[in-house]
Amino acid sequence: MIVLRARPLVLMVLALIPLALASLLIGVADLSGAQGGLILSISRWPRTLAVMLTGAALAVAGVVMQELVRNRFVEPGTTGTGEAAALGLLLATLAFPEAGIGTRMIAASLGGLAGTAVFLSLIRHLPPQEVLLIPLTGLIWSGVLGAVVLHIGWQTDLIQLVGIWLMTGEFSGVIAGRYELLWIAGLAAGLALFAADRLAILGLGDGVARGLGLNPEAVMRLGLVIVAVVTAMVMATVGMIPFLGLVVPNIVSRVMGDNLRASLPVTALAGAGLLLTCDIIGRLLIFPYELPVSTVLGVLGAGVFLWLLWRRPGHD
Amino acid sequence: MIAVSDVHHHIGQAQILRDITLTLPAGKITALIGPNGAGKSTLLSLVARLTPLQQGQITVAGLDVQRAPSRELARTMAILPQNVAVFSRLRVRELVAFGRWPHHQGRPGPQDAAKVAAALHDMGLDDLSHRFLDQLSGGQRQRAHLAMALAQDTPWLLLDEPLAALDMAHARALMQTLARLRDSGKSIVMVLHEVNYAAAWADHVVALKAGRVLAHGTPETVFAPDVLGALYDTRLRVIRQDGRPLVLHHL
């Protein structure tokens, strides 16, 4: 039993190692030269780590969001969390131009928290059997928030900054010293591993959770914080990366179910692996130039998303 | 025992329960019966603290359901909510194992595994325990949720329409299991839609109508034709079968 459960995890680790090695080796600069060690430690290693942290954290955030909403078709990128975090960051940048990175990240996280909380209250009255209304509402909500962010960005000449946050997530600019916030995203995702049983029980419904002695609101708040912090850190560091939080949890759930205690670590590793694969593809397709990872993932993810919608019409 | 005193409940403008004061005996099977919309599920939900109490007080085995620590309540009563629909893709055994959560809080021991196995067995799920819930029929899923409540192994068991979706054989098997649990000292409160299961198996019956207690007591007192006729506003006959009332209402 233990062997069976451990197997997907071991497979994931084994798959991740060659991917990480490939990511370390791909690039224009020659690692065997005099600067090789420096390039590795300043650029390649941080980039590889950043991609894996982002992938793992976004996949876990996707699972958490799906348990909170009890719907498979949501992720932080389709519920307004990213746009709301960008709004928080933008407002903080405007109101306190001198503010340090800590303050601005708190503002981004709070923005994401508020935006997601509004989304949750928006969907509360939707009929639960209409599963596609929830992601649609999320898309509309994130569209509205995105428009507000763009408008303010336009008015205040910060459109370039906003563009980096909202448009295309990519890792070409990642070097040592410019990705470390992603560790916070990783830590937040790690929190979900500790709360795996609680989140899984919450997914069974408020009634069941309360009956088992859990406080559903408290678990909900914890989940919200995880989702908001992960999204805010990723959005501010590398930009939004669509679909990852949707695709990876759905595939892992198909294969091994939603017993999060067993499946969340696999989901995290699969997220890291998928994003790393997309990043490597993006770096190789038009070498020595790069395609943003979110573009590669968008093409891949849209396909998988359509497939998910198509094979499970209407309900679960 | 469960003591309900002076409970009123409304949802929006609609008064769901009015001035409910009653005690439900320990060590018995208590059936809540009544027409649709009588407030049965609401009352059970209030007792199970799934719905916040608006007025009055409810204690279960001496614990105030509004104030007692949630974990202590979860070790005192297990609840099967109505129409459980689960989005999660869990295996039957995984679902049932969550019933042990109040006891181990994430660190299950051997006795937890034993309780889970016993609950699966009691609900006839031995062969289905590795199946995913979304691969089961409605009745099988209902039994999985019942097994989860049984695995919680609490002195009180609150079941909202546990027979919904169960076929005759499984319905009888469930009532036999509940009777055995009652004989081992547990207390069971269940909302029953089908009055004859209440007539045949319950020790105590509470009849609710329009948010009030119309009658309560032994099946013999509640299943008098005039009481039952007034409860459901319909013509029916009550005959005796093996010393128990049997309601004929489908003719």
Tell me the HSE value of A277 on the side-chain side, using a 13 A CA sphere.
Answer: 16
Provide mean pLDDT across the span A268-283: 95
pLDDT tops 90 at residue A178: no
User: What pLDDT was estimated at residue B18?
Assistant: 94
Buried b (16+ CB within 10 A) or exposed e, A119-144: bbebbeeeeeeebeebbebbbebbee
Dihedral angle sign, alpha carbons of residues A50, A51, A52, A55: positive
Tokens 């709360």 belong to which residue? A195
Residue A160 binned pLDDT confidence (cut-offs 50, 70, 90): confident
Asked if residue A179 is part of any domain, the answer here is yes
In a domain, A35, yes or no: no
- Of B31, B99, A216, B70, the residue nearest B60 (C-alpha): B70
pLDDT greater at residue A84 or residue B82:
A84
How far apart CA A49 and CA A39 sit, in angstroms, is 14
pLDDT at B217: 93
Closest chain A C-alpha to B150 CA, distance in angstroms = 12
Q: Does residue B249 or residue B104 have the better pLDDT?
A: B104
B158 and B65 in contact (C-beta within 8 Å)? no
Give me the pLDDT at residue A1, please: 43
pLDDT per residue as tens digits for the range A33-72: 888 889 999 999 999 999 999 999 999 999 999 999 999 8
β-bridge mates for residue A262, sequence order: none
A91 neighbors A111 (Cβ within 8 angstroms) = yes
Give the architecture (CATH level 2) of B2-76+155-248: 3-Layer(aba) Sandwich (3.40)
Q: A30 in a domain, yes or no? A: no
**Shortest CA distance from A202: residue in chain B:** B88
pLDDT(B93) > 70? yes
CB contact under 8 A, A203 and B88: yes
Q: Tell me the C-alpha to C-alpha distance, in Å, between residue A313 and each of A63, A77, A131, A249, B88.
A: 20, 22, 10, 18, 17
Rounded to whole angstroms, how far apart are CA atoms B148 and B146? 5
Question: Could you tell me the pLDDT band of residue A6, with boundaries at 50, 70 and 90?
Answer: low
Please compute the mean of the pLDDT values over residues A179-188 and round it to a whole number.
95
B interface mutation test: which of A2, A67, A204 has the most B CBs within 10 A? A204
Does residue A33 fall inside a structural domain?
no
**What's the rounded mean pLDDT across residues B151-162?**
96
Domain region containing A247: 10-17+42-311
Mutate to test the interface with B, among A125, A208, A253, A312 (most CBs of B within 10 A): A208
Contact (CB, 8 A) for A77 and A192: no
- C-alpha A173/C-alpha A55 separation (Å) is 17
Q: Answer yes or no: is pLDDT of A8 > 50.
A: yes
DSSP A44: I
The string of DSSP letters for B142-186 reads HHHHHHHHHHT--SEEEEESTTTT--HHHHHHHHHHHHHHHHTT-
Cis status, amide bond into A8, omega within 30 of 0: no
Quote the ipTM score: 0.91
Nearest to A141 by CA among A203, A71, A84, A212: A84
pLDDT tens digits, A215-253: 999 999 999 999 999 999 999 999 989 889 999 999 899
Residue A114 falls inside a structural domain: yes
Chain B 90-119, residues with CB within 8 Å of chain A CB atoms: 90-91, 94-95, 98-99, 101-102, 106
> What does pLDDT average to over chain B?
93
- In what side-by-side order are the strands of the sheet with B2-11? B14-24, B2-11, B55-60, B63-64
Do A259 and B86 lie within an 8 Å CB cutoff?
A: no
Q: Quote the CA–CA distance of B232 and A227 in Å, as a whole number.
A: 50
Quote the CA–CA distance of B28 and B193 in Å, as a whole number.
Answer: 19
Q: Give chain A's domain count.
A: 1
Q: What number is the average pLDDT over the span B4-28?
A: 94
Q: Which chain B residues are within 8 Å of A72, Cβ to Cβ?
A: 87
- Chain A residues whose C-beta is within 8 A of a chain B C-beta are 67, 70-72, 128, 197, 200-201, 203-208, 210-215, 253-254, 257-259, 316
Q: Look at residue A312 in the predicted model and tell me its pLDDT.
A: 59
pLDDT in tens, B177-232: 999 999 999 999 999 988 999 999 999 999 999 999 999 999 989 998 889 888 99
Q: Say if B130 is an interface residue toward chain A (CB within 8 Å).
A: no
Q: Is the pLDDT of residue A212 over 60?
A: yes
Per-domain residue ranges of chain B: 2-76+155-248, 84-153
Mean pLDDT lowest among B28-32, B52-56, B243-247: B243-247
B87 contacts A71? CB cut-off 8 A: yes
Domain of A52, CATH number, reads 1.10.3470.10
- Residue A310 is predicted with a pLDDT of 77
A54, A59, A64, A70: CA torsion to nearest 10: 150
Q: How far is CA A218 from CA A26, A115, A193, A198, B194, in A?
A: 45, 18, 16, 10, 38
User: Distance, in angstroms, between A71 CA and closest chain B CA?
Assistant: 7
How close B45 gets to chain A, by Cα (Å)? 9
pLDDT tens-digit map of B102-139: 999 888 999 999 999 999 999 999 999 999 998 899 89
pLDDT at A5: 56
A4 lies in some domain: no
Q: Residues 160..189 of B with a Cβ closer than 8 Å to A: which?
A: none
Is B58's pLDDT higher than 70? yes
Q: Express each pLDDT in A100-148 by its tens digit.
A: 888 999 999 999 999 999 999 999 888 877 888 999 999 999 999 999 9
